[in-house]
């Protein structure tokens, strides 16, 4: 659709942001669904985040996505925050509604939707997460809301695993057989609990940037056959973490599904309808495949 005086503005705010797949996905979606919208990638320095976010309102933008490293910083700038964004402590989707900035989080639901797409229901099942940063918090929260448990948070820095576990206790509802329970774990202790997990997820940044080519965990023999190994990193499609899991015979899932589904759920926030998942996959793969 041609950009004209009616075109609504959306954007992703990040730093850096030039690598983002969101513009190609959303703009392909707008073309497919005939929406008169335009989606840009805007590189916003940390000190400019308040001005950029209030600028969305001033410009009459429809909304925005927020990506690394601003997801936590924008939360206190919102007029309203959804319960899931509040629990995650992070906003990845903003909608400007009647001049009010409303913050939401579709990463949490996007992760669970990507599991559903491959037929994995986390309800009542054990999950072992590597990492204790913002990404691990979102994944853990999604799993808890879906009824998973027990959940183990394994991290290089044990103290951070304890802190994340403590802060998730509000969302955790321990029941029989450890369902809903969250426990911190040192990396050395992973083999001792691995057999109780039906899901193992890399939520660390290992495999990205300076650690591209590395995996936070390589010995998957301690997991039961059939345990689903997930990496939320989507580039490359098969990360070293997933390669190691696959070589131990485990089924694997990359991070592209989470990216696509968080985008589809962002449409629900902006437009009240889910975005076109197939169009998003095709657009993202076109760019990733061209690397």
* Cβ pair 90, 74 in contact under 8 A: no
| Interface segment toward ligand ATR; rule CB under 6 A; list 51-59, 130-138, 139-147, 247-255 | 130-138
Burial call 63-102: b when 16+ CB within 10 Å, e when fewer: bbbbbeebbebbbebbeebbebbbbbbbbbbbbbeeeebb
Using rule CB under 6 A, residue 133 touches ligand ATR: yes
Six-digit token string for 76 = 């206190």
Using rule CB under 6 A, residue 134 touches ligand ATR: yes
C-alpha span between 126 and 119 (Å, rounded): 16
Nearest 5°: phi and psi at 53?
Answer: -70, -45
Site for ligand ATR in 195-214 (CB under 6 A): 204-206, 211
Using rule CB under 6 A, residue 160 touches ligand ATR: yes
Using rule CB under 6 A, residue 67 touches ligand ATR: no
Using rule CB under 6 A, residue 169 touches ligand ATR: no
Query: Which one, 205 or 218, has the nearer CB to ligand ATR?
Result: 205
Fill in the DSSP letter of residue 170. T
Query: Which one, 211 or 247, has the nearer CB to ligand ATR?
Result: 211
Question: Of the listed 35, 70, 71, 261, which one is catalytic?
Answer: 71
C-alpha span between 46 and 74 (Å, rounded): 10
Q: In whole angstroms, how close is the CB of 165 to ligand ATR at the nearest point? A: 13
For ligand ATR, the binding residues (CB under 6 A) are 131-136, 155-157, 160, 204-206, 211, 216
Q: Which residues does the annotation mark as catalytic?
A: 71
């Amino acid at each position: 659709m041609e950009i004209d005086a009616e075109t609504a503005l959306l954007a992703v705010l990040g730093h850096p942001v030039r690598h983002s797949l969101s513009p190609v996905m959303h703009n392909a979606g707008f073309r497919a669904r005939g929406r008169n919208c335009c989606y840009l990638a805007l590189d916003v320095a940390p000190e400019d985040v308040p001005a950029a976010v209030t600028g969305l309102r001033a410009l009459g933008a429809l909304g925005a996505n927020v990506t690394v490293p601003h997801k936590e910083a924008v939360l206190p700038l919102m007029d309203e925050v959804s319960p899931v964004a509040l629990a995650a402590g992070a906003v990845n989707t903003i909608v400007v509604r009647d001049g009010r900035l409303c913050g939401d989080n579709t990463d949490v639901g996007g992760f669970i939707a990507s599991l559903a797409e491959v037929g994995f229901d986390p309800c009542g099942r054990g999950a072992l997460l590597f990492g204790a940063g913002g990404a691990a918090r979102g994944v853990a929260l999604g799993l808890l809301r879906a009824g998973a448990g027990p959940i183990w948070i394994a991290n290089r820095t044990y103290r951070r695993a304890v802190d994340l576990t403590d802060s998730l206790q509000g969302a955790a509802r321990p029941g029989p057989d450890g369902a809903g329970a969250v426990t911190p774990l040192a990396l050395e202790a992973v083999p001792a609990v691995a057999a109780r997990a039906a899901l193992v997820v890399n939520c660390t940044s290992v495999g990205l940037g300076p650690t591209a080519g590395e995996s936070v965990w390589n010995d998957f023999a301690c997991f039961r056959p059939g345990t689903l190994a997930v990496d939320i990193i989507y580039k490359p499609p098969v990360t070293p973490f997933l390669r190691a899991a696959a070589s131990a015979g485990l089924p694997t899932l990359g991070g592209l599904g989470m990216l696509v589904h968080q985008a589809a759920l962002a449409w629900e926030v902006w437009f009240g309808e889910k975005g076109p998942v197939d169009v998003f996959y095709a657009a993202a793969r076109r760019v990733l495949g061209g690397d």
